[in-house]
Amino acid sequence: MINLNENQKKAVEWKKGPLLIIAGAGTGKTAVITQRIIHILNSKWAKSDEVLALTFTEKAAGEMLERVEDELPLGYGDIWVSTFHSFCDRILKQEAYYMGLDSNYRLMNDAQSYMFFRKYLFDLPLKKFRPYGNPTKFIKDILSHFSRLQDEDVTPAEYIEYAKSLSKRGKIQKEEYEDTLELALVYEEYTKLKIANSKVDFGDLILLTIKLFREKPNVLKRYQEKFKYILVDEYQDTNYSQSVLVNILAGIDPKSDLSKIGKVNPNLTVVGDDDQAIYKFRGAAISNILQFKQYYPKAKEIVLTENYRSRQEILDGSYTLIKNNNPYRLEITEKVDKRLISKMSFPQDDDIVNLVVSQDGDGEAEWVAREILALTGHSQDTVVEKTQKYDQSGQSAFVELIPDRKYKFSDVAILVRAHAHAELVIQNLRYFGIPYKLGGSRGLYFRDEIKVLVAFLRLLTDYKDEISMYRVLNMNEWNLTSREFIEINRLAREQHISLLEQLESMFGVRVGKDMTFVISNMGEKVLSKEAIEGVQKLLVVFNDCIKMVKESVSIGQILYHFVQESGYIESLLEEKDGIAQFKVNNLNRFFNTIKEYETDNPESNIYEYIDFLNYSIEVGESPLVDQMDLTEYDAVNILTVHGAKGLEFPVVFLVNLVSDRFPSQNRRDTIPIPDELIKESLSGLDDREEHLAEERRLFYVGATRAKEKLYLSAANYYGTAKRKKRQSIFLNEIMDRDVTEEFDNPKIVKLEGDREIFSPVPEEDFNAKEIDIEVGRKVSYSQVNMYEVCPKKYEYAYVLKVPSKAHASLSFGSTVHNTLKDFYNIFKRYREGLGITDLPTKEDLVELFRKNWIKRGYESKKHEDSRKEDGVKILERYYDEFFNTEDVPYAIEKMFKVNLPDSSFVGIIDRMDLVDTVDDVPYVEIIDYKTGKLKSKLEAKKDLQLPLYCLFAEQSLGVKVVKAKYMFVEEGIEMEIDISQERKEIAKENVLDVIESIKRKEFKADPSLFKCKYCDYNSICKDAILN
């Protein structure tokens, strides 16, 4: 166990009953909750699968699980550490039968929900909220309204009941009644449509799980008995429905079990800080933590106040600020002392919390940049000749990095209330040559390297989309100089034709028809030889992709062809710097989003995908790209205060501290929730006061990110506004004095001189250096196998993460695996008497195969249909020859993880059948399905996968493996494998050797004509042997 202070130790070792841990900023909250889980397991109070830990982000859940796993013994079972949504998804998939829910339901994000709602727009009982002139106008607002209802645990039936009650309140309520009833009826119908189409959204996950527990007490009892300890991180950020879910599991349903208050004492631990509750805009209810002891009056209360982050002066100022939220704080309601005490030692410094006011926003931004230069030991003098701000590596061309400096650029964070407030600061950082990186929700679809791919896909659906063609034509891969590019555009405009038609005219071709190149005089006059070759390549690639669209080739394959044949990936990989690596990682993310879309929409085409993409961008649903993950870059961090939650920096600048910026304006929802349906409220505060309290908590979070220095800055005027801004109310509070004098006599009166400001800001907004990528921390057998085939291929796939081509064999294999998984899960439930009364039939197996079908990677529709027919025959034979009703499935697709020196090994066992039980130890047989070609006897003898799986299963899953076999489904042959102790040890040594090589980054190519011919990366690998 790590060193803990007295209160941390008490929290970790609390054994029985509810526990409220009030953990102030920087008091080691994450360490306490992870150490508590470890202590529970090591003390044998519960088994690993009897502990449930809930948090809010996948990243937080992953970090918590990793910390727990790192300190556990070599082997352990399943640990339920997840987000609320992942937990509910897991429950619903296991218990779908009880809900009449398809266990293969699809989880919709905002864009998918938008598309689904729009599809049924004219089937829903809409009137006012579907105006004929713009029928889609309110879709986003309606969905947001429904999401807030879900946050408040309001079912469609309850909403309809409320709406009807308005009719009894007189004529004055008629319009409100009609609007509310319309929304309530749509809410009911939309919910039914989702269930009928096997679709759920994130709010449904919570509400359906609550519904399951309320309607099926036997299921609830099973999970209540299962989870002996429940821990909830960041409890102040839970919404009302999430708190209901937690309380139901703990034994109290707020809708029906209030009589149990004071009578149940579950082992429920909630950790949080009411002063850091900053997510009201997404439904979070601070009242959950404030009212915890009302539900559990016997709860133990432990307050963590020893701060391991900040100077005392920063903590004192933050405390004087947050006290202004009294009396609606735990410090008052629970009569505890929440004043944070710094336990860190810092060198003497009288200049810790600083307030600087400028006459205007430009002066404020320039002062921030100059102060950063001073802090990092750089000269404030800029060069006179400002023609080049960055060198080829992306580093500032005129800020010399000083090795011996007190602060690095990466020690500094600039926090803003909203993304838009960062623009002036960014322009000044660029002017002074200060490298920076943007944190938070930078959408993947808005990255330059992805925009060009989106543009190309749009071009395939509309060749006259000039914006998209402009972006595609501007790619470096076509060898066009700026002059040539401009000339092509000028000629197209002059002749009133599209850019594509202009290129066709210059090269004498028609894309999709005749591709015999005949260069016109104009083409030879305007373009260089290199440009002619480049544009010819563009037209050929575009023609290829047009044909692929016509042949219904998958979107992923079409795009993969484009990035390969254009040389796009190859050119990125040639740049050995951080920008290039970051772009390649983003390409991989983009291909994964397409893969997910095609899985969820197997009958879709590129036209429907572009609609989906447009909707995604319209509703702001874009996968997040966070440059803060690039921790090895020495660059200033720019984040919103929300984005900085959980982070810390030696130096923090809080900027734009004026009224209407921070605190921000209070904006209500377009379609607000009726007050009577909102369970979360702070009695005594009106809407304006609640908003101000939330903004104060947000300011508190921003201030407590600072470890050594906190700068507060503001200006009297921003932009072209002529009205002087009012100072933020929070400045008086944190400085504990009236700061009016600073605003009346600003320190920064004007800029030092006229200068150029760059705008717009380019995408490459961080300092590019060679990335030191961590490798080999977590490996699987497929990774080991690929490394043994060719270390260079491993590097492309798992280190550089270059997107690979979709393969029919992989799609077919995944379909068969998923089918057998679902089939044996049904069979297992049938044997165990868990709601399945009929033995699954051959027809059931075939139906599951059709439902699980993945269409990616096939050469044509004919090829796909042929393989689908093969699959049906294969599985029918499997049922006849290998399905045995006497088999006892012990686990289906069981994941395991084993800690190794400086690494870990993860794997999934397709199936384990129970053979016997000896002294309470399950004796099992491991079955691994294969859809590839049959192994020879020699290959089987050398096989190391199953011996390894057997060894690690025994270490981590508490079983004894007595047999192991491959099931070659396509061939209809079983093959038993030698799993003697000798084979297990050989397998383990082999894996350890491979991991060691990976960690040494030994990625030398091992080419051969056979291997390279079928390698996805042969077009970008310089070592490939292709002839």
Annotated binding site for ATP: 23-30
CA distances from 795 to 71, 134, 803, 902, 1003 (A): 29, 51, 12, 19, 6
Task: Assess contact for 35 and 1: CB atoms under 8 A.
Answer: yes
Residue 637 dihedral angles phi and psi, to the nearest 5°: -95, 130
- Spacing of C-alpha 163 from chain mean position: 37
Q: DSSP string of 3-65?
A: ---HHHHHHHH--SS-EEEEE-TTS-HHHHHHHHHHHHHHTTSS-GGGEEEEES-HHHHHHHH
- Alpha-carbon distance of 702 to 652, in angstroms, equals 8
CA 947 from chain centre, in angstroms, equals 35
Structure tokens at 313: 């002066």
β-bridge mates for residue 231, sequence order: 53, 269
R_g (Cα) of the chain, nearest Å? 31
How is residue 881 written in tokens?
A: 């020859």
Using an 8 Å Cβ cutoff, are 1025 and 1007 in contact? Answer: yes
Q: How far is CA 610 from CA 458, 882, 914, 978, in A?
A: 7, 44, 49, 51
Give the HSE-up count for residue 808: Cα atoms under 13 Å, Cβ half-sphere: 14
Q: E-assigned strands of 199-255?
A: 199-201, 229-232
Tokens of 528: 């260089």
Q: How far is CA 989 from CA 323, 907, 963, 994, in A?
A: 60, 17, 21, 9
Q: Are 649 and 705 in contact (CB under 8 A)?
A: yes
What CA–CA distance (Å, rounded) separates 370 from 687? 40
Cβ neighbours of residue 939 closer than 8 Å, sequence gap 6 or more? none
The helix, strand and coil proportions of the chain, stated in percent and rounded to the nearest 5, come to 50, 15, 35
Cis peptide before 217 (omega within 30 of 0): no
Contacts 24+ apart (CB under 8 A), 989-993: 990/784, 990/944, 991/779, 991/781, 991/784, 991/900, 991/905, 991/948, 992/900, 992/901
- Give kind and range of the element (H or E) at residue 861: helix 861-881
Q: Find all residues with CB under 8 Å of 921, minimum gap 6, and list them.
A: 958, 959, 960
- State the Cα angle at 842 between 841 and 844, rounded to 5°: 65
313-314-317 Cα angle (round to 5): 85
Element (H, E) at 81: strand 80-83
Give the angle 176-180-185 at the CA atoms, nearest 5°. 150
843 vs 409, 823, 848, 855, 874, CA distance in Å?
Answer: 64, 11, 9, 21, 13
Give the CA diameter of the chain. Answer: 91
Question: Do 269 and 13 meet the contact criterion of CB atoms below 8 Å apart?
Answer: no
Q: Which residues contact 561 (CB under 8 A, 6 or more apart)?
A: 541, 544, 545, 548
417 near 640, Cβ under 8 Å?
yes
Q: Using alpha carbons, select from 71, 216, 49, 187 the residue that is nearest to residue 129.
A: 187
Closest alpha carbon to 860 in 808, 921, 812: 808
Annotated binding residues, as ranges?
Answer: 23-30
